[in-house]
Structure formats: structure tokens, C-alpha cells
Structure 1
């Protein structure tokens, strides 16, 4: 099974961790590391390294971050260069996280990376777009106009 580490600014990581746990229950090889105000990059790097050791059981680890270029992403990226079995994915949201947690026993790192990016792009929507999916195309107004 692939390990999963969440990281991001403020309480981003623990917020998603708690939401996912509430929805699908307790998970093994799953850890959250917040980058809180006043925390140094060195402290974050140390906590990410600890989380990696806790989550990796040999199949690899996916590190999910909030934004590309932020400290959590950059430090996770640096860590991934030291370990061959680690992927870093940015732009994390709850639907993306749940899909990964539910599929990580059946997929390898490369496959889950590709599917996560594809599914993440499809998961962003709006109420208007959802209504368009349910409305018949080219529907005319009731008065025939």
C-alpha cells in the first residue's frame, strides 16, 4: 500500500486529514504535517522526513501539498530527490485525497500520479456546470422562442 503525506500552509494538512478520516475512517500510512506560522523551513523538513519514515513500507509515498512553489511543496520536492519512491502532487483538495486513499492499495506510484492529475482536473466544477450536465442541450423556451 502506498503511504500518503499531506502538507501545506496553516492547518491545511490536518484539516484535510480530519475530513478524510471522518468520511472514510482511520487510515494507516497516512500523516499530516502543517507548516504553521513561525515554523522554520528546517522544522518542516524534519517533520516531513519523520512522516516519510512513518508512511513508507516499501511501496512508495505520495506527498500531497497545497500550492506549487510554497515551502511545503519545495521541501517535499527536495525530499523526493533523496528517495526514489516518492511523488509530490500539488493542488490537493478533498475529492482528490479521498480517491488516492481509496485506490492506493491497488495502484503503483506512477499510475496513481497520472490518475490523480487527470481526476483532479475533472473534479473542479461549479453549480452552473453541474446544471448544464443535467439540462437537455439546445432546449427551447416554453413559449417556443
Structure 2
């Protein structure tokens, strides 16, 4: 099973962890690490190292970060440069985290990352877009004579 570390600024990771627990329950092989205002990048790096020592990494580890170019992303990226079993995703949202935590047994590390991006993009939508898509689906059978 792929291990996951969710990280981000402020209470991003712990907030996401609370929401995930409410929606899908507690998950194994998951660490959530906040980068608070009072932390230094070195302290964040130390928390990452601790998590990597506590989690199984044989099937790989995916860091799910909040912001491209932010400190959590950069720190995770540096770790990934030294270990091919570590991947880094950014722009993490609740849709991505929930679906991928439930499906991580089905993928290799690289296909997990590809699917996570698909899921994240699918979760970014609007009510108008969803209503229009449903209306189009209802119209198509009639237009085809079904």
C-alpha cells in the first residue's frame, strides 16, 4: 500500500485530516504534517524525516502538498530527488485526497500520481457546469431516438 503524507501551510494538513476522517474514516499509512507560522523549514524537514521512518515505504510514498513552490512542496521535492519511491503532488484538494486514499491499493506509484491529478481536476467544477452536463445527458438519448 502506498503511504501518503499530506502537508501544507497553517492547519491545511490537520484540517484535511479531520475532514477525511469524517468522510472516509481513519486511514492507515497516512501522516498529516502542518507547516505552522512558528516552524522553520528545518523543523518541517525533520517532521518529514520522522514520518518517512514511521511509514512503510516499500510501495512508495506520495507527498500531497497545498501550494506549488511553497516550503512544504520544496522540502518534499528535495526528498524525492534522493529517493525514487517518493513522489510529490501539489494543489491537493479534498476530492483528490479522499478518492486516492481509498484507491491506493489499485495503483503503482506512477499510475497513482496520474490518477490523483485526474481526480483533482474532476473535483474542480461549478454547479452550473454540473447541471448543464446532466441536462446534456438527458437530451442525448432522445436526440438519438432512444
Normalising by the residue count of structure 1, what TM-score does the alignment of the two structures yield? 0.90
Where in structure 2 are the equivalents of 1:104-115 lying within 5 Å? 104-115=104-115
**Equivalent residue for 2:142?**
none
Structure 2 unaligned residues grouped into runs of 5+: 140-146
More displaced 10-residue stretch of structure 1: 2-11 or 127-136: 127-136
Q: Give the Cα–Cα distance (whole angstroms) in 2 for the partners of residues 115 and 5 of structure 1.
A: 17
**Equivalent residue for 1:83?**
83
Where in structure 2 are the equivalents of 1:58-137 lying within 5 Å? 58-136=58-136
SS in 2 for 1:97: helix
Q: Deviations over 1:114-142 (max 9, x none)?
A: 111122122210111111112248x9xxx
Structure 1 unaligned residues grouped into runs of 5+: 140-145
Report the alpha carbon displacement of residue 77 of structure 1 after superposing the two structures with TM: 0.3
Q: Deviations over 1:53-80 (max 9, x none)?
A: 2223411111000010000000000011
Q: 1:27 to 1:136 in 2, by over 3 A?
A: closer
Q: Deviations over 1:13-47 (max 9, x none)?
A: 01111111121111111000000012100000110
Higher helix share: 2
Q: Give the Cα–Cα distance (whole angstroms) in 1 for the partners of residues 88 and 112 of structure 2.
A: 11
Q: Give the Cα–Cα distance (whole angstroms) in 1 for the partners of residues 136 and 76 of structure 2.
A: 46
